[in-house]
Amino acid sequence: MRRLYGLLVLALTACGSDAGDEPGAAGSAGQANAAGTSAGGSSGGSSAGGTSSSGAGSSNAGNGGAGKSGSGSGGSTAAPDTKWVNVTGNLLTLATMSTGDQGPGDLSFVSAQPGSARLIAGVARAGLFATVDGGTTWTKLGTGAGSATINHGPTSIVYDPEHAGVFWESGIYGDGVFHTADDGVTFQRLGDISHNDRVSVDFSDPERKLLVAGPHEATQKLFKSTNGGMSWEDIGSKLPAGSSFSTLPLIIDTQNWLVGSAQGGGTWGVFRTADSGQSFASVSPEGPAGWPLTASDGAIYWSLAADKGLIVSHDQGKSWTKAAAGPLQPFSGGLCELPDGRVVALGQTHLLASADQGKSWQEVGEALPFAGGNCKTYGFTYLAETKTFFINHNDCSGKLTADAVWSSGFDYEKQ
């Protein structure tokens, strides 16, 4: 079922990124997550350079959790039934075993790992968990010998576009950025920073030396590493004076980055650097939320805080246009891109898709089991390999619920 959202805001267009970060010239798979793709994030077409946690085959997540979607193959794989089904499975039991009397917190994002049938979920205080059978069974990541313990509230995953088994994870209310080079068997904590919403990686550099992390609900604060995360420098003073929370970095390439700033006091907007963080200029007054998505055509999509739609850039973030009304702010992850190029966003009652770069939106799939928004449907991702949407439900109780993850088949080739 598809319902067309009218072009209500085309007259409001103005000039001005997740679970990922996709360098324009680096030929990366995109990042989200979301990223991916999402808080991370949603995985899939995701959040810009690299593959992030919120998108089609990616999240995201994007760098987060937004990553870039469209990396999964899908092909002739038959999609599951379109009815939304609770696939939390043994996740609640497993997460509780991981935390003991303390108990697990909310499920903060779901992220589709690019090029596989694997879905990763982040659970506060409990870490990361994965399923390869659509949620029937889950396993805990980071259980290998010598692995660091992820003890925070996960917020994003950024997948390496050349090898999705290499990824970076960030989170809040606990130790900071983590990295795995063995598909989540073991994790290494990178440096000593903590409490970060999103990490972005420079995939234009084969050595992945440049990382930027955005702290949670902090102004004039932004962490930069030039040695792969072994040490960090706070360059927040380089951001415009009076700017809001600097929580959403997106590296385009070594010199060019974006920072989304919103949801706190001070000036909201998108700030851009062309000198690797030595100075920043405002390129949009809109306040982004969630992980930015870098689509397969190079366009960057970014949802706006307070459910104000989204903005789009076609020149690596130098200028921005406001897209049509309809999408809501994703509270974990971000937008994603289907393998056919459609961009997907969270709506009030359904997921929404746009085939015209956000000029109009159509409802796709079945009605959501929980309305879109905070304490409801919190985020989503698309697993292209199995042609399945996943959502994460958060009831704001601060606890993982028995109905935290849901899935619905969606055949992008037919629907």
Domain presence at residue 105: yes
Domain presence at residue 125: yes
Angstrom CA distances, 166 to 50, 58, 170, 186, 212, stand at 11, 13, 14, 11, 17
Please tell me the predicted confidence (pLDDT) of residue 331: 86
Please tell me the predicted confidence (pLDDT) of residue 45: 34
Is the pLDDT at 100 greater than 90, yes or no?
no
Single-letter amino acid, residue 401: T
Q: What integer best gives the mean pLDDT of the chain?
A: 85
Summarize the confidence of residues 111-117 as an average pLDDT: 96
Summarize the confidence of residues 212-237 as an average pLDDT: 97
Q: What percent of the chain has pLDDT over 70?
A: 82
Domain presence at residue 414: no
Is the pLDDT at 205 greater than 70, yes or no?
yes
Q: What percent of the chain has pLDDT over 90?
A: 77
Give the CATH number, domain containing residue 153.
2.130.10.10
Is the pLDDT at 286 greater than 60, yes or no?
yes
Domain presence at residue 415: no
Summarize the confidence of residues 279-289 as an average pLDDT: 97
Please tell me the predicted confidence (pLDDT) of residue 77: 80
Is the pLDDT at 305 greater than 90, yes or no?
yes
Domain presence at residue 332: yes
Is the pLDDT at 29 greater than 70, yes or no?
no
Total domain count for the chain?
Answer: 1
Summarize the confidence of residues 112-129 as an average pLDDT: 97
Is the pLDDT at 2 greater than 90, yes or no?
no
Calpha distance 141→146 (Å, rounded):
13
The model's pTM:
0.85
Give the residue numbers spanning the domain of 35: 4-409
Range list of H helices, 179-283: none
Least confident among 61-65, 118-122, 359-363 = 61-65
Instruction: Report the chain's terminal Cα–Cα distance, integer Å.
Output: 8
Q: Please name every residue paired with 390 in a beta bridge, in sequence order, or none if there are none.
A: 381, 407
54: pLDDT confidence band, cut at 50, 70 and 90? very low
Please tell me the predicted confidence (pLDDT) of residue 198: 96
Domain presence at residue 367: yes
Please tell me the predicted confidence (pLDDT) of residue 4: 35
Please tell me the predicted confidence (pLDDT) of residue 75: 58
Domain presence at residue 103: yes
For every residue of 4-49, DSSP letters joined together read EEP-TTGGG--------B--TTTT-----SBTT--TTT--BEESSB
For the stretch 342-396, pLDDT in tens is: 999 999 999 999 999 999 999 999 999 999 999 999 999 999 999 999 999 989 9
Domain presence at residue 288: yes
Calpha distance 10→411 (Å, rounded):
29
